[in-house]
């Protein structure tokens, strides 16, 4: 069975689930009720990629594909559009926005490609009052900050080098310390936000996705903390009963192992 046969089989399964004698749960779903699952499956794909597990990536991509097929089936039933319309639309868009691949245009750098991408959007009538428009509000805050900073940088609103951003971080940290000393709750929140925003800017300058970096650090922390729990349990102890010095020693051991 080739790829198209498999895809057709998936569409048939989706229609069967939504049929009169199909699955009660699937028949009850709407675009709104499916939204949490769409987000959940997306994050599970990202997690699988972070674990570098081809088998898990394959499985999670299948779950995500099913969510896309589900939404298209709902739209088809209501007469809005079909999955064929979706495929046709993205195929046409990709061809139109890559004239250097499917046409005679010539672009030598990624920056030139991005510029013509924005030009194409304007030609399509997708004019924006601000270059910051179009970044989804639903994105995780670190990723959204990264995207917004990148948009601003396209029109020259940027630092000349990472040294300037590091200086800004020092400035924001100083203001955060002042807010802590004044015990001003609103100022603490505001200045801490500025610190995070500066850190995201640094990540952009050094070519690191802040969401990926933080996700990996969280996984690393979980692994090391789990090592501590197991090591303590093996000695008949609990972390909550250990002294700060014992916890520090166990943490250092965990860092050497995980």
By the 8 A CB rule, do 139 and 132 touch? no
Spell out the residues 6+ positions from residue 181 whose beta carbon is closer than 8 angstroms to its own.
none
Side-chain half-sphere CA neighbours of 218 within 13 A:
9
d(CA 124, CA 194): 36
The pLDDT value recorded for residue 127 is: 61
By the 8 A CB rule, do 149 and 141 touch? no
Name which of 172-181, 211-220, 225-234 the model is least confident about: 211-220
Spell out the residues 6+ positions from residue 250 whose beta carbon is closer than 8 angstroms to its own.
228, 231, 232, 239, 242
% of the chain residues with pLDDT over 70: 97
Q: Is the pLDDT of residue 249 over 90?
A: yes
Write out pLDDT tens, residues 46-66. Answer: 889 988 899 999 999 999 999
Mean pLDDT in residue range 229-247: 96
Could you write out the three-class secondary structure of 81-147? CCHHHHHHHHHHHHHHCCHHHHCCCCCCCHHHHHHHHHHHHHHCCCCCCCCCCCCCCCCCHHHHHHH
Q: Is the pLDDT of residue 7 over 90?
A: yes
The pLDDT mean for the chain works out to 92
Higher-confidence position of 115 and 38: 38
Write out pLDDT tens, residues 159-196. Answer: 999 999 999 999 999 999 999 999 999 999 999 999 99
Mean pLDDT in residue range 200-205: 96
Higher-confidence position of 121 and 224: 224
DSSP of the chain, one letter per residue? --HHHHHHHHHHHHHHHHSTTS-HHHHH--HHHHHHHHHHHHHHHHHHHHHT-HHHHHHHHHHHHHHHHHHHHHHHHTTS--HHHHHHHHHHHHHHT-HHHHSS----SHHHHHHHHHHHHHHTT---SSTTTTS-TTS-HHHHHHHHHHHHHHTT-S-SSHHHHHHHHHHHHHHHHHHHHHT-HHHHHHHHHHHHHHHHHHHHHTT--HHHHHHHHHHHHHHHHHHHHHHHHHTT--GGGS-HHHHHHHHHHHHHH-
Cα→Cα distances 132→79, 81, 135, 157, 194, Å: 33, 29, 7, 12, 18
The pLDDT value recorded for residue 258 is: 80
Mean pLDDT in residue range 25-49: 93
Q: Give ∠ CA 144-165-255 in degrees, rounded to 5.
A: 75
Write out pLDDT tens, residues 110-169. Answer: 888 877 777 777 777 666 778 888 888 888 899 999 999 998 998 889 999 999 999 999
The pLDDT value recorded for residue 1 is: 56
The pLDDT value recorded for residue 253 is: 96
- pTM metric for this prediction: 0.69
Higher-confidence position of 154 and 44: 44
């Amino acid at each position: 069975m080739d790829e198209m046969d498999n895809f057709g089989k998936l569409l048939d399964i989706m229609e069967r689930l939504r049929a009169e004698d199909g699955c009660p749960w699937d028949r009850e779903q709407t675009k709104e009720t499916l939204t949490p699952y769409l987000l959940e499956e997306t994050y599970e794909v990202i997690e699988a990629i972070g674990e570098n597990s081809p088998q898990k990536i394959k499985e999670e991509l299948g779950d995500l594909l099913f969510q896309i097929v589900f939404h298209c089936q709902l739209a088809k039933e209501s007469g809005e559009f079909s999955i064929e319309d979706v495929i046709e639309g993205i195929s046409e868009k990709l061809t139109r926005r890559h004239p250097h691949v499917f046409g005679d245009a010539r672009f030598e750098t990624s920056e030139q490609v991005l510029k013509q991408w924005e030009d194409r959007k304007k030609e399509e009538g997708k004019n924006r009052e601000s270059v910051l428009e179009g970044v989804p509000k639903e994105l995780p805050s670190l990723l959204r900050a990264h995207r917004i900073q990148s948009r601003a940088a396209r029109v020259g609103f940027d630092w000349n080098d990472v040294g300037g951003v590091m200086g800004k971080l020092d400035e924001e940290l100083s203001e955060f310390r002042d807010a802590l000393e004044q015990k001003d709750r609103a100022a603490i929140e505001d200045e801490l936000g500025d610190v995070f925003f500066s850190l995201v800017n640094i990540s952009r300058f050094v070519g690191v996705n802040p969401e990926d970096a933080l996700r990996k650090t969280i996984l690393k922390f979980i692994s090391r903390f789990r090592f501590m729990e197991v090591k303590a349990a093996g000695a008949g102890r609990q972390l909550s009963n250990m002294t700060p010095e014992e916890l520090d020693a166990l943490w250092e051991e965990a860092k050497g192992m995980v």
